[in-house]
Amino acid sequence: MTLVAGVDSSTSATKVEVRDVDTGALVGRGAAPHPATRPPRSEQSPDDWWAAFEAAWSRAGTPSVAAISVAGQQHGLVVLDGQRRVVRPAKLWNDTESADDAAALLDRLPGGAAGWAAACGSVPVASFTITKLAWLHRVEPESWGRLAHVLLPHDWLTWRLTGGLTTDRGDASGTGYWSPIDDGYRFDLLALVDDGVLWESAVPVVLGPLERAGTWEGAVVAPGSGDNMAGAMGIGLRPGDVAVSLGTSGTVYAVSDRPTGDASGAVAGFADATGRFLPLVCTLNATRVTDAVRRLLGVDHGTLDELARAAAPGAGGLVLLPYLDGERTPNRPEATGVLAGLRTDVTREQLARAAFEGVVCGLLD
């Protein structure tokens, strides 16, 4: 029996699944949590990702596999020095401290938002890697002086497996400095952050969908990708299909045969993991919202579901604006949540339903 393994390194945890390559049968599974984060500063040590991977791998049975691939949370900034040591904790996709830097970058490129959409398919907001680089350059000059390599979370985990600094076109397209339109890095955009860095040697090699990143314990290591790109590939998304994904973030995405660029910034023009393109809308607030309400109500996930189902649609007029951790779409990095329509007869059921309706309506917007 030939086994393959998939690794999902998300914001909250690392999950491993091992399957029979011929039948698809699940052979092993394991998971381990990551340290919780609290935006506006949302940071994790990459070493914690590796510890979580090792724990999850052990819980999956420490299998002998023929191939392995890593999917990771998009946009996070991992900076290594010349000895490939992590310079500082990784700033994650939902860290909004770089909001001012995102606004400044818009002003530095001729055409502003439209210029960015034409250059790399997306208008950078605080989530994007390039804004986090600009933040590091502005706020931590000592860390900036040690910068030798810039990676994404999935890149770093692949490097731990193979020893090579690689990425793929899907995850690279979420940086704000790799263009699905041009199918390559835009070093002119990185020069807007610092034109004194030799960026060509700082960024990882972009592998094609069928290229090998290297080997690990005898297993072929695939290029891997960002979590949304891996999700699209995993469910066999085709042009004309639309997927909705709810995790720490909420995403709506589709596969396209052509690159896209939206100057409004609402739709990010990503690449996918197969050679096509992945226009995507992302909100910062999804299951963290329902988790917060669950915690306030003092119930488990199943009971929260039951409470929400018991309330009528519309939650009796109770409305939760779910921007608890700021928001990416629309671009409101300093926003907070709002609970409106409270009356003296409010019920726990209405609050539970308002949480779910707030998340869903945020995506529908």
Residue 190 three-state SS:
helix
Bridge partner residues of 244 (DSSP) = 252
Residue 45: HSE in the Cβ half-sphere, 13 Å Cα cutoff:
7
Spot the catalytic one: 171, 227, 272, 325.
227
Does residue 183 carry a catalytic annotation? no
Distance CA 197, CA 193 (A): 9
The pair of structure tokens assigned to 82 is 């010349």
Alpha helices in the chain (DSSP H): 46-59, 99-108, 112-120, 129-139, 141-146, 153-162, 169-172, 187-191, 199-202, 227-234, 287-297, 301-310, 348-364
What are the backbone dihedrals phi and psi of residue 315, each rounded to the nearest 5 degrees, phi first? Answer: 55, 35
Rounded to whole angstroms, the Cα distance separating 299 from 290 reads 11
8 Å CB contact between 287 and 254: no
Question: In 3-state terms, the chain is what percent helix, strand and coil (to 5)?
Answer: 35, 25, 40
- What's the CA angle centered on 326, arms 353 and 228, to 5 degrees? 80
Nearest CA-CA partner of 232 in 308, 315, 182, 173: 173
Sign of CA dihedral 113, 116, 118, 123: negative
Rounded distance between C-alpha atoms, residue 86 and residue 143, angstroms: 10
Strands 319-321 and 338-340: antiparallel
Q: Which residues are catalytic?
A: 227
